[in-house]
Amino acid sequence: KQVLLKVENLYKHFPIKKGIIFSRQTGAVHAVDGISFNIYNGETLGLVGESGCGKSTTGRTILQLYRPTSGSVFFEGDDLAKLKGENLRRKRRDLQMIFQDPYASLNPRMTVGQIIGEPMEIHGTYKGAAQTKRVQDLLQLVGLNGAFANRYPHEFSGGQRQRIGVARALALEPKLIVCDEPISALDVSIQAQVVNLLEDLQSTLGLTYLFIAHDLSMVRHISDRIAVMYLGIIVELADRNELYANPRHPYTQALLSAVPYPDPFVEEKRKRIILEGDVPSPVNPPSGCRFRTRCQYAKEICAEEKPAFREISKDHFVACHFDISGQQSAS
């Protein structure tokens, strides 16, 4: 396995001001609060968590759409967080993004051809007739008619618009694509089509994906490995099958208990876990383990010490002080 992207101790905080009079009293939203993981060449890493947990911020910070507060993002050995100007611009071609909302992410005043051609225009890769040809090829690659280039986004359905978004992301022949909830806004009947398209493109073009989603059912099919995020940190990371069969973090266990499981025998053993309370504010995250305010297994140490992100079995990482198998109940 070859590492394509290496995220090392990444932080992204957004400063906030609490009003004008108390302007000295400032704080920060700890959107991403110290995460480390690899993405291997050709794989799909699923990144899952509730809204506000920092998964989109992670995706955007990897692409340097947000600059990290601290930490590193190595892409093919270069630390993107340290690159600037022309060097960063050139590297950025290799990393692209597909957005959640196919309605909001396409400029309504531009034709489809202009939208897909724009990255080529900006980076000067294809111009004139060559660009027109390339736009048509890209439209066909995502299963659309090349003649759509002259039409406007509003003429298309949600699924078609997301295909246009995919074509634009492919315009610069990227290696890594951050897919930020690309199917969440689509009808259920269309979701599988877009996932299948992404999988086909991955094998044809040798792409690597970071696939962001808010629940575990959406990433199950497409991911090779899955990372679970809670309140700015990754609490569990494992191979897809291992994570579903043997979730070891209480938060993953709760998320998974809400997912319909295809194996009725396993379903029987799996009780629905209802999480009490809300996700705490990312401005003042709980001390020690961030999940402790909602964890049925929490003990004193959980408030005092931050659990290490440790490898409990080969390639299976968990941030919990205890070894909780999921079948046991709270004492």
Is residue 233 near ligand SF4 by the rule CB under 6 A? no
Q: In the complex with Mg ion, which residue's Cβ is closer, 103 or 322? A: 103
From the list Mg ion, ligand SF4, none, which binds 56 (C-beta under 5 to 8 Å, kind-based)? Mg ion
Is residue 117 near ligand SF4 by the rule CB under 6 A? no
Q: Give min distance, CB of 17 to Mg ion, in A.
A: 24
Single out the segment in contact with ligand SF4 by CB under 6 A; choices: 37-45, 131-139, 265-273, 297-305: 297-305
Q: Give min distance, CB of 303 to ligand SF4, in A.
A: 8
Single out the segment in contact with ligand SF4 by CB under 6 A; choices: 31-39, 92-100, 252-260, 294-302: 294-302
Among 297, 309, 316, 326, binds ligand SF4 (CB under 6 A): 297
Q: Give min distance, CB of 330 to ligand SF4, in A.
A: 10
Among 117, 250, 282, 326, binds ligand SF4 (CB under 6 A): 250
Is residue 169 near ligand SF4 by the rule CB under 6 A? no
From the list Mg ion, ligand SF4, none, which binds 58 (C-beta under 5 to 8 Å, kind-based)? none
Q: What is the 3-state secondary structure (H, E, C) of the chain?
A: CCEEEEEEEEEEEEEEECCCCCCCCEEEEEEEEEEEEEEECCCEEEEECCCCCCHHHHHHHHCCCCCCCEEEEEECCEEHHHCCHHHHHHHHCCEEEECCCCCCCCCCCCCHHHHHHHHHHHHCCCCHHHHHHHHHHHHHHCCCCHHHHHCCHHHCCHHHHHHHHHHHHHCCCCCEEEEECCCCCCCHHHHHHHHHHHHHHHHHHCCEEEEEECCHHHHHCCCCEEEEEECCEEEEEEEHHHHHHCCCCHHHHHHHHCCCCCCHHHHHHCCCCCCCCCCCCCCCCCCCCCCHHHCCCCCHHHHHCCCCEEEEECCEEEECCCCCCCCCCCC
Among 47, 195, 198, 320, binds ligand SF4 (CB under 6 A): 320
Is residue 321 near ligand SF4 by the rule CB under 6 A? yes
Q: In the complex with ligand SF4, which residue's Cβ is closer, 189 or 328? A: 328
Chain residues in the site for ligand SF4 (CB under 6 A) = 250, 289, 291-292, 295, 297-298, 302, 307, 320-322
